[in-house]
């Protein structure tokens, strides 16, 4: 088998060279082109390499990949488990797309290229189309139905105008009172924390009692001028 594939590859190489020479000298190329195409098909078949369909036909791509992967998968893998794996692949590729975008946009530690971003977008589309194929979802019908919903929504979101009827009644006096109570509560907390710190109470114990982090306790212990004055 190996020697046959080698002979086919060697013949394809020689035929390709003859074809290139014929193109260069304006000689007839039809027979050579057909011979090269047939040799390439034989080589692909011997190596179990499928010929990819047109790039725009995602559903065709998904069906072909599904058939080839299904034919070559391990016996322990079932259709149900493969669907689970495919769903995880969609999530994984989506995450890689976000990472590629962050690198491309300069939002990550290292930079990325536009080609990397394009590759990840293609991966997301392919694995999503394969998930649809394995789940028995008609991708064209699903897209058509969803686009119909999207187009029916319109494109402009109306500005939301807040009216008095939309806001619960709350007199300004209540707002002012709430603000004063909040300020007084904050000052009491600062004074209490400062007093506890002066009494050598551990920061961890203060944090647990207040339900806050140690960093917050350190911030509170600094206090405001009013709270500091109250501890002197």
Residue 80: is its pLDDT beyond 80? no
Based on its alpha-carbon atoms, the radius of gyration of the chain, rounded to whole angstroms, reads 34
Q: Is residue 165 part of a domain?
A: no
Evaluate whether 133 touches 139 at the Cβ level (below 8 Å): yes
Question: How far apart are alpha carbons 179 and 7 in whole angstroms?
Answer: 88
Residues 135 and 189 in one domain: no
Averaged pLDDT score across all residues of the chain: 74
**Quick one: 64 and 139 in the same domain?**
yes
Q: Count other C-beta atoms under 10 Å from residue 174's C-beta.
A: 10
Label residue 71 by pLDDT band (50, 70, 90).
Answer: confident
Same domain flag for 39 and 61: no
Same-domain status, 71 and 133: yes
Alpha-helix runs per DSSP H in the chain: 2-24, 30-46, 58-72, 79-104, 114-134, 139-153, 172-198, 203-210, 214-222, 225-231
Q: Which of 88, 121, 153 is the last residue of a domain?
A: 153
Mean pLDDT computed over 144-167: 64
pLDDT at 77: 58
pTM: 0.44
Which of 135-139, 141-145, 183-187 bottoms out in mean pLDDT, i.e. has the lowest?
183-187
- Verify that 127 and 69 share a domain, yes or no: yes
Residue 159 lies in a domain: no
Distance, CA of 182 to CA of 176 (rounded, Å): 10
Q: Which domain holds residue 106?
A: 55-153
17 and 94: one domain? no
Domain identity same for 222 and 136: no
Polymer length in residues for the chain: 232
Has residue 39 got a pLDDT over 60?
yes
Please report the pLDDT score of residue 167 as a whole number: 47
Q: Which residue has the higher pLDDT, 74 or 83?
A: 83
- Phi (first) and psi of residue 27, to 5 degrees: -85, 165
Task: Please check whether residues 143 and 85 belong to one and the same domain.
Answer: yes
In a domain, 166, yes or no: no
Name residues whose C-beta falls within 8 Å of residue 40's C-beta, 6 or more positions apart in sequence. Answer: 12
**b/e per residue, 70-107, with b = 16+ CB within 10 A?**
eeeeeeeeeeeebeeebeebbeebeeebebbbebbeee
What tokens appear for 71 in the block?
Answer: 């034919």
Same domain, 31 and 69: no
Max mean pLDDT range (20-24, 81-85, 91-95, 139-143): 91-95
User: For the residues 213-218, what does the mean pLDDT come to?
Assistant: 74
Which residue from 77, 75, 98, 89 is spatially nearest to 133, judged by alpha carbons? 89
The verdict on 226 and 180 lying in the same domain is yes
- Does residue 111 share a domain with residue 62? yes
- Same domain, residue pair 60 and 112: yes
Instruction: Work out the angle between the directed axes of helices 58-72 and 139-153 (0-180°, nearest 10).
Output: 140
Number of domains in the chain: 3
Whole-Å CA distances, 147 to 83, 91, 153, 169: 25, 23, 10, 42
């Amino acid at each position: 088998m190996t020697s046959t594939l080698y002979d086919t590859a060697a013949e394809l190489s020689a035929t390709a060279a003859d074809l290139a020479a014929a193109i260069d000298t304006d000689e007839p190329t039809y027979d050579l082109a057909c011979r090269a195409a047939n040799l390439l098909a034989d080589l692909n078949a011997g190596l179990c390499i499928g010929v990819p369909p047109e790039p725009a036909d995602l559903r065709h791509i998904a069906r072909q990949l599904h058939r080839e992967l299904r034919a070559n998968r391990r016996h322990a893998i079932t259709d149900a488990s493969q669907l689970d794996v495919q769903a995880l692949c969609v999530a994984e590729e989506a995450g890689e797309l976000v990472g590629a975008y962050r690198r491309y946009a300069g939002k990550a530690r290292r930079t990325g290229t536009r080609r990397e971003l394009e590759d990840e977008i293609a991966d997301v589309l392919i694995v999503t189309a394969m998930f649809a194929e394995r789940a028995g979802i008609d991708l064209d019908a699903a897209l058509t139905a969803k686009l119909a919903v999207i187009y029916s929504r319109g494109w402009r979101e109306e500005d939301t105008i807040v009216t008095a009827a939309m806001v619960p009644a709350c007199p300004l006096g209540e707002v002012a009172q709430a603000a004063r109570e909040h300020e007084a509560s904050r000052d009491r907390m600062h004074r209490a924390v400062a007093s506890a710190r002066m009494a050598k109470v551990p920061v961890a114990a203060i944090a647990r009692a207040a339900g806050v982090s140690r960093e917050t306790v350190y911030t509170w212990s600094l206090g405001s001028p009013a709270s500091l004055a109250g501890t002197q």
